[in-house]
Homo-oligomer: A and B are copies of this chain.
Amino acid sequence: MGGVAMSKTIKASIIGITGYTGLETLRLLLAHPNVEIAHLTSRQHENASIGEVFPHLSHLDLTVTNTDHKTVGADSDVVFLGLPHKTAQDVVADLHGSVKVIDLSADYRLDDVETYEKYYTSHNHPELLSEVVYGLPEVVGADAIKNASTVANPGCFALLGQMMLFPFKGMIERADIFAITGSSGSGKSASDGTHHPVRNHNIKSYNINAHRHIPEITRAAGIKEDQLNFVPTSGPFARGIFANAFVKLQADINPLDLAEQAYGEQEFVRLTDNVALANIVGSNYIDLSYARGEDGVIIVQGAIDNLVKGASGAAVQNMNLMFGLDEPTGLDTLAPIYP
């Protein structure tokens, strides 16, 4: 709506366009006033019009190619990586420093290699872990990201969980989180867990206290793993994560004051007294509520679109910071799809 479009144009590429995060990044970049698409790549498609691969984008005059990542890097101002974990390790290492990189995989989210290897797999480039910046400006600060060459985009559950707890950093005795995600969080490949006849009306938890996003949450909350119970759950809807946390603090502090202190200036954080999943779908907003419960417990609720704020929206927000644009550029014009 209105406003003066900046003249700057960023050449952006997506490596791994066929996954949901790659695809959602493209959706957001198409709505961004300062971006033009350089390359869209996929190992599965040598050279296909985008409409062949994704009929919902058949109006676009774009091509999906199997261009190697170094060529992509050389032709781009920024490269988004929508690759699986492990695969991204070497690609980041090859590109780091030569082009701005925003890695949507988990490979560089954690600081120390031991934790990474405990939750994921072996790491080929542990020396880079400290050079890649964790891409959550509301937690690490915008300045860190502005100066980054490569950014590691947060996990979806991780982003929501840590933003719920971050205002209490260093004050938490224990946090018990129940979080329920839509089926798009499972990615683009069909599986038993996303088989419609059952998923359509099922709710089931999985990886309780063992989910890979846990170390991102504990780090931001300033707690140890034994101070967190985290119950990831799958729900009968396509987009979004809704989470409820029961938090016991070390002292009696007004939770809303802390939340306002932490997020008062943040464009995409909406503090509310009534979080509802339908209010954020399709947008980069995160809704958060903080209330006092019984027995000194703080009840925190939060909701995000797992593919936007939980992935590609956060990535574009990082891109804006890395290129000196206003942080909300191209994202604040995308209101939630409602209903």
Q: Given contacts A235-B235, A238-B201, A270-B59, is CB(A184)–CB(B30) below 8 Å?
A: no
Q: How many copies does the complex hold?
A: 4
Knowing A35-B1, A276-B202 are in contact, say whether A27-B335 is a contact too (CB < 8 A).
yes
Interfacial chain B residues near A242, Cβ < 8 Å: 203
Is the beta-carbon distance between A278 and B56 smaller than 8 angstroms?
yes
Q: Which among A86-94, A126-134, A136-144, A287-295 touches the partner chain?
A: A287-295
Pick the residue among B174, B189, B246, B294 that contacts A225 (CB under 8 A): B294
Most B Cβ at <10 Å: residue of A2, A183, A196, A275: A196
- Chain A 190-217 residues near chain B, CB threshold 8 A: 190-192, 194-205, 208-209
**B58 A270 Cβ-Cβ under 8 A:** yes
> How far apart are the CA atoms of A332 and B184 in the complex, in Å?
24
Say yes or no: B236 contacts A235, CB within 8 Å: yes
Is residue A48 within 8 Å, beta carbon to beta carbon, of the partner chain? no
Residue from B1, B188, B301 in contact with A37 in the complex, judged by beta carbons closer than 8 Å: B1
Q: Which of A1, A201, A277, A339 has the most CB of B within 10 A?
A: A339
Instruction: Judge if A251 is at the interface, Cβ distance under 8 Å.
Output: no
Stretch at the interface among A98-106, A158-166, A226-234: A226-234
Asked if B205 contacts A183 (CB within 8 A), the reply is no
Q: Is the CB of A282 within 8 A of B282?
A: yes
Write out the residue numbers on chain B whose beta carbons fall within 8 Å of the beta carbon of A191: 190
Whether the Cβ atoms of A337 and B236 lie closer than 8 Å is: no
In the complex, are the beta carbons of A226 and B294 less than 8 A apart? Answer: yes
For window 276-313 of A, CB contacts with B under 8 Å fall at 276-282, 285, 291, 293-295, 297, 299, 301, 303
The reply to whether B180 and A197 contact each other, CB–CB distance below 8 Å, is: no
Interface status of A116 (Cβ within 8 A of chain B): no
For the complex, is A324 an interface residue (Cβ under 8 Å from B)? Answer: no
- Taken residue by residue from 258 to 279, chain A's Cβ proximity to chain B (1 for < 8 Å, 0 otherwise) reads as 0000000001101010111111
Task: Give the CA-CA distance A192 to B191 in the complex, in Å.
Answer: 9
Q: A5-B4, A33-B5 are in contact. Are A237 and B200 (CB under 8 A)?
A: yes
Interface size class of A (residues with CB under 8 A): 35 or more
A135 part of interface (Cβ distance < 8 Å): no
Closest to A34 in B: B2
* Complex Cα spacing A36 to B3, Å: 9
- Residue of A3, A285, A294 with most chain B CB atoms under a 10 A cut-off: A294
Chain B residues within an 8 Å CB radius of A59 = 267-268, 270, 285, 332
Collect the chain B residues with CB atoms within 8 Å of residue A336's CB: 56-57
Q: Which of B54, B190, B281 contacts A201 (CB 8 A)?
A: B281
Complex Cα–Cα for A60 and B303 (A): 18
Cross-chain contact B282 with A227 (CB below 8 angstroms): no
Cα-based distance from A125 to B266 in the complex (angstroms): 51
Bound form: Cα–Cα A10–B335 in Å: 19
Tell whether A23 is near chain B: CB-to-CB under 8 Å. yes
Contact of A203 with B1 in the complex, beta carbons under 8 Å? no
A-B CB contact pairs (8 Å), 19 listed: A1-B35, A2-B9, A27-B337, A56-B279, A56-B336, A58-B279, A180-B203, A189-B195, A194-B196, A197-B239, A198-B238, A198-B339, A200-B238, A200-B339, A203-B237, A204-B274, A204-B275, A239-B337, A282-B282
